[in-house]
């Protein structure tokens, strides 16, 4: 039996969450075109016949903290790299890296962990020579490592990458029961699904100014679960945008979120969303804690 923790590392938007979902063959992690969608260290578990892989999705490797929230993100990523992970998957874009990106990625080498380089979004670059050049640039700052050319979105090279991961796993008994998909509660996924819907529906500052908390979650025998969620924004002007003209925007958000949650849980739910202003929650340590971030 082999088992271990595998961290997906890479700059925001490179496709870490998409890859996690492709590996798990299941939409578990929140995916969106905006960077920094992933705020939590998320664990997805893949159980094979003789292996268990515990994947950690990370918020990305950020260097400087612009606010308290980013500070939390950086800490989560660092602890995944330095402590928890047995293996790092370094995911990169299929384009020539900037010196800054190389410097960030190079820091991973210092962690001294086994590592696999995966060049993602290869569906966008058909030219093999260009891909090789990209990989070579990264390999200069990394310890010797396997290189995989993949597309998380089109599911190209995923099986080969998975085989390589299993080959590198340490011998160990499983960490979790084989019916576990994740160690997070359903309500965590509910908040993430609502946030993902917010990302899809609103533009500009709204998505990053939002946090979701579950106020009430009642499972009902033979009836839909009742879920009350609070959507926090930072300013009253943002609240106005979230609600929309005659409340049409929030109505849409509620419907879409409810459908996403029902698809995820495989059962009916009744969702309510309340919008509240909580000034500057991103800079407020107590607020971050209450909203489930590890501060």
Residues found near ligand GDP in the complex (CB under 6 A): 10, 12-18, 31-33, 35, 37-38, 60, 120-121, 123-124, 151-153
Q: Long-range contact list for 199-206, CB < 8 A, 24+ apart?
A: 199/30, 199/32, 199/33, 199/34, 199/37, 200/32, 200/256, 201/249, 201/252, 201/253, 201/256, 202/241, 202/242, 202/249, 205/238, 206/233, 206/238, 206/241, 206/242
Residue the block writes with tokens 């609240």: 239
Decide: 234 and 207 in contact? Cβ < 8 Å: no
The residue among 35, 69, 63 whose CA lies nearest residue 207 is 35
Q: Is the CB of 77 or the CB of 238 nearer to ligand GDP?
A: 77
- Nearest residue by C-beta to ligand GDP? 15
Per partner kind, with CB cut-offs from 5 to 8 A, the member of Mg ion, ligand GDP, none near residue 111 is: none
Q: Is the CB of 13 or the CB of 172 nearer to ligand GDP?
A: 13
3-state SS track over 27-39: CCCCCCCCCCCCC
The tokens for 156 are 């190209």
Whole-angstrom distance, CA of residue 76 vs CA of residue 169: 22
> Considering CB distances under 5 to 8 angstroms, the limit depending on partner class, which of Mg ion, ligand GDP, none binds residue 119?
none
13 versus 259: smaller Cβ distance to ligand GDP: 13
Look at residue 13 and give the partner it binds from ligand GDP, Mg ion, none, a contact being a CB closer than 5 to 8 Å depending on partner kind: ligand GDP
Which of residues 188 and 217 has its CB atom nearest to Mg ion in the complex?
188
CB 73 → ligand GDP: shortest distance, Å? 11
Work out how close the CB of 156 gets to ligand GDP at its nearest, in angstroms, rounded to a whole number. 8
Give Rg (Cα) of the chain: 20
Q: Which CB sits closer to ligand GDP, 150 or 230?
A: 150
Q: How far is the CB of 101 from ligand GDP (least distance, A)?
A: 13
Output 127 or 171, the one with its CB closest to ligand GDP.
127
Cα separation of 85 and 184, whole Å?
18
Partner in contact with 41, chosen from ligand GDP, Mg ion, none, beta carbon below 5 to 8 Å by kind: none
Query: How far, CA to CA in Å, does 51 sit from each of 23, 34, 210?
Result: 14, 33, 38
Residue 75, H or E segment = helix 68-79
Minimum distance, C-beta of residue 19 to ligand GDP, in the bound complex (Å) = 7
> Which residue carries 């979230």 as its tokens?
242
Select the binding partner of residue 197 from Mg ion, ligand GDP, none (C-beta < 5 to 8 A, by kind).
none
179 or 204: whose CB is closer to ligand GDP? 204
124 binds, among ligand GDP, Mg ion, none (CB under 5 to 8 A by kind): ligand GDP
Shortest spacing between CB 60 and ligand GDP, in angstroms: 6
- 222: helix, strand or coil: coil
């Amino acid at each position: 039996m082999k088992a271990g923790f595998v961290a997906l590392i890479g700059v925001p938007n490179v496709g870490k969450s998409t890859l996690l979902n492709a590996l798990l063959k299941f939409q578990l992690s929140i995916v969106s075109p905006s960077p920094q969608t992933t705020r939590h260290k998320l664990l997805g578990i893949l159980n094979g016949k003789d292996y268990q892989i515990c994947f950690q999705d990370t918020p990305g490797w950020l260097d400087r903290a612009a606010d308290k929230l980013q500070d939390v993100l950086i800490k989560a990523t660092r602890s995944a790299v330095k402590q928890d992970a047995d293996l790092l998957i370094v995911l990169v874009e299929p384009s020539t890296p900037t010196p800054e990106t190389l410097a960030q990625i190079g820091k991973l080498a210092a962690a001294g962990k086994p590592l696999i380089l995966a060049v993602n979004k290869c569906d966008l670059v058909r030219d093999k020579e260009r891909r090789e050049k990209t990989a070579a640039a990264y390999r200069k700052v990394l310890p010797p490592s396997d290189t995989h050319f993949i597309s998380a979105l089109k599911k190209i090279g995923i099986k080969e990458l998975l085989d390589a991961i299993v080959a590198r796993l340490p011998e160990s008994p499983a960490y979790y029961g084989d019916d576990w998909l994740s160690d997070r509660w359903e309500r965590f996924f509910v908040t993430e699904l609502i946030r993902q819907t917010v990302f899809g529906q609103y533009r500009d500052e709204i998505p990053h100014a939002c946090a979701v908390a579950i106020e009430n979650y009642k499972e009902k025998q033979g009836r839909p679960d009742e879920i009350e969620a609070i959507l926090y924004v930072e300013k009253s002007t943002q609240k106005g945008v979230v609600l929309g003209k005659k409340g049409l925007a929030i109505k849409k958000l509620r419907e879409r979120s409810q459908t996403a949650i029902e698809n995820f849980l495989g059962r009916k739910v009744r969702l309510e969303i309340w919008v509240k202003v909580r000034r500057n929650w991103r800079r407020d340590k107590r607020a971050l804690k209450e909203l489930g971030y590890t501060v």
